[in-house]
Amino acid sequence: MNKEIVVLIGGPSSGKTTLIEALKEKGHTCYPEVSREVIKEAQEQGIEQLFLEKPLLFSELLLEGRKKQFHAAQNEAARIVFLDRGIPDVLAYMHYIGDAYPSFFDQACKDHKYTSIFVLPPWKEIYVSDAERYENYEQAVLIHEHLMETYKNYGYSITEVPKDSVENRIDFIMKHLAK
C-alpha cells in the first residue's frame, strides 16, 4: 500500500481550510494549517502579528510544525493524508516578503517530498480577511504566484482545482488521486 501525502496550497482565502474540513467530514485523514496555531499562541503572548514582527522566528516555528505533520502523516493508517499547506509554503512566504532564510529551510523541502500538490487559485468572490489573515486580495494573488514558483522549483507537478462548489472540488481531487 503506497502512502499518499497530498498538500493543498493556495493564497489566503482560496478555500483550503473549507476543503480540509469537508474532507475530514467525509472521513479522510487531514492535518490543519499550522500557522493559525502559531499565530494564536503568539497573540496570547501579546505579539499581534508574529509574521510581520519576527518573520524568521515565525517561519522557523512553521517549518518545525510542518515537518512534524509530514512525519505524522507518514505514520497514519490511512492510505491518503491531506495537509493544509506544506513545507515549501514557508519559503514561498519568505520570498514574498523578501527575507532571507537559513539553508536548512531549503534542505527541509528536499528531505520531505509530498506525493501530490493541488492548488486552489485566488478567488475574489470568496476572499475574506479575519483575525489571522492580514493580506488583501492583491497580496493573496502575489502569494499564490510565489507558491506556484516555489513548488515548481522543488520539482512538483501542480494540479489546479477549479473554482467550484466544495463537493465538486473534492470530487475533482479524488478523481485525480484515483488515476
More confident residue, 90 or 131: 90
Chain CA centroid to CA 17, Å: 9
Domains of the chain: 4-178 (3.40.50.300)
CA atoms in the 13 A half-sphere facing the CB of 28: 21
Q: Is the pLDDT of residue 2 over 90?
A: no
Q: Is the pLDDT of residue 1 over 60?
A: no
What pLDDT band is residue 143 in, cutting at 50, 70 and 90? Answer: very high
What is the distance between the alpha carbons of residues 33 and 139, in angstroms, rounded to a whole number?
Answer: 19
Handedness of CA 102, 107, 113, 116 (dihedral sign): positive
- Local structure of 127: helix, strand or coil: coil
Q: How many CB atoms lie within 10 A of CB 41?
A: 12
